[in-house]
Amino acid sequence: MCAVVFALLTWQLVARGPLRRLDERLGVRLHDGVGLPHFLAEFFSDLGNTEVAVPVLALCAASVMWWVRRATGHVAWWPALTALAAILVVPALVLPLKELFDRPGQPSAEGLGYYPSGHTATATVAYGVALLLLLASPVPPHRRDVRRALAATWLLLVLCVSYGLVRQGYHWPLDVAASWCLGGAVLQVVAMVLLRVRERPQTPARDDAARPQRERRADGQERDDVA
């Protein structure tokens, strides 16, 4: 679904269709019209910086690794590997597309290559993977209201970053919408991977260590019975 929507948005961009014309009018209105103060919009846009989003993702991945270690006694690398792979996919997807479409930014922006938005993709994927890791941890938030609150926080962060980028004139609305699609596709893959990881049985290390002792005791009892 995300790929289909991205293809439609890109078609409208390249063909200079009605959606692109609406996009440019809306972008100028959001930038020049009444809205949040620019200092606050700048703060929101900065939440999509890698210097902000990646440390949040790393902290969540480290927390999940610690929880897995406590629950099973084993060191689990899948949270760190999932986070690393997901965040590396973002520039691998976004940068070639920026070069390919070479879209100019808003009148206040300089240069080309604004489609899709790298900051929006970073925020969508980094905060989204952090959410998925927390939900896939050995001690996930089981209460439905807590899970909904976490999902709402992720959605609010992405929307704030997106609005800030358009409000500050860094991107057109279509740029951020395209990155929603790219980020959504990445999160779908990550969710499927984490679902498979979570379905795998986790055996506590204490049981693994105790099993040989039980087997040796059973063997000793059998030899005593035979004797």
pLDDT digits (tens, 9 = 90+) for 85-126: 999 999 999 999 999 999 998 888 888 899 999 999 999 999
Half-sphere exposure of 5 (CA within 13 A, CB side): 14
Q: Which of 122, 111, 101, 110 is nearest to 176 (CA)?
A: 122
User: Is residue 50 in some structural domain?
Assistant: yes
User: Is residue 222 in some structural domain?
Assistant: no
User: Is residue 4 in some structural domain?
Assistant: no
Q: What does each of the 227 residues of the chain score in pLDDT, given as a tens digit?
A: 899 999 999 999 999 999 999 999 999 999 988 788 999 999 999 999 999 999 999 999 999 999 888 877 888 899 999 999 999 999 999 999 999 999 998 888 888 899 999 999 999 999 999 999 998 887 766 678 888 999 999 999 999 999 999 999 999 999 999 999 999 999 999 999 988 877 665 555 444 444 455 555 555 555 555 44
Say if CB 94 and CB 24 are below 8 A apart: no
User: Is residue 216 in some structural domain?
Assistant: no
Q: What's the total number of domains in the chain?
A: 1
User: Is residue 227 in some structural domain?
Assistant: no
Give me the domain span that covers residue 92.
38-201
Query: N- to C-terminal Cα distance for the chain?
Result: 70
- Looking at residue 221, its pLDDT comes to 56
